[in-house]
Chain A
C-alpha cells in the first residue's frame, strides 16, 4: 500500500545540522513531487519545501530558504531534507507528503502523508 516513512529526527543543539529521510513505497516514486511540512507543538501546519518529480524544481518557505536543502534519491525511493543552522523555532514534527498530481511540478495538494518525525532544537 501507499506508504511514507520518515526518520532522522531527534534532539539537536542550536546551530547544528540534521538530515531527515522519507522512504516511499507502494507507488512510482519518480512520478511524484514530494513535500516536507512541519508542525510545531500546539501549532498549525507549515509548509517547508517541495521538490518536483524530476528533481529539477525545488521550492522553499522563507523560513527554510538558505538553511534547508531538499533532495531525492530515485535508487532508494527516498526524499531528504538537510537542515542546517537549526534554531529553536525549527522544533516541530516534520511530515513527508506526496504531491497529489504526477509528472507535474508541485502546485499544491498532498494525498499521502507519513507519520512524522519529531525534531527538537534545544541546548
Chain B
C-alpha cells in the first residue's frame, strides 16, 4: 500500500481534460516538492513535472500540475491517444527520509 494515494484509473475522450490526484501528508507532499512521471507501456518512466508545477523542456503545455496542502494534481488537457499511459506522483518524506511513489494511475483514452 502506497503512502501517496492515487486513483487506480482515469479515462477521457480525445480533446477532453482529465485530472489525476495524489494525496499525501504533512511530512511529504505538505513539505516537499511533488514530481510526476509518465510511463508508456513497456518503457521506462519519464519525468513529466518537477517542483510541483514545472515542466521539463520538451513536455507539452497540455500537461500541468498543482499542489495545495498535502495534495497534488496532474491535469492533461486536449487529451490525445498517445497520452494513454500510467502516471505516478512522487515526493520525498522529510520525516522518514524515504522517497515515496503513488500507486499509479492508468489513464485510458476512450
A44 to B44, Cβ gap below 8 A? no
Which residue of chain A has the shortest Cβ distance to B99 in the bound complex? Answer: A47
Min distance, Cβ B70 to any Cβ of chain A, angstroms: 15
Number of interface residues of B (CB under 8 A): 26
CB proximity to B under 8 Å, residues A67-84: none
- Distance, CA A47 to CA B32, complexed state (A): 17
- Which size class do A's interface residues fall under? 20 to 34
Min CB distance B32 to A, Å, is 6
**Interface assignment of B63: CB less than 8 Å from any CB of chain A:** no
* Count of A-B residue pairs with CB < 8 Å: 69
Q: How far does the alpha carbon of A93 sit from the alpha carbon of B104 in the complex, in Å?
A: 16
Task: Point out the residues of chain A lying under 8 angstroms from B2, CB to CB.
Answer: 44
Knowing A44-B2, A107-B92, A111-B56 touch, does A59 contact B99 (C-beta < 8 A)? yes
CB contacts under 8 Å to A, within B32-79, are 32-33, 35, 37, 39, 44-47, 50-51, 56
In chain B, what residue has the closest Cβ to A62?
B98
Q: Find residues 44-101 in chain A having any chain B CB closer than 8 Å to their own CB.
A: 44-47, 50, 59-62, 95, 97, 100
* Residues in A lying within 8 Å of B, measured CB to CB: 35, 37, 44-47, 50, 59-62, 95, 97, 100, 106-111, 113-116
16 A–B contacts from the bound complex (CB under 8 Å)? A35-B99, A37-B45, A45-B45, A47-B99, A47-B100, A47-B101, A59-B99, A62-B98, A100-B47, A109-B33, A109-B35, A109-B50, A109-B51, A110-B37, A113-B44, A114-B44
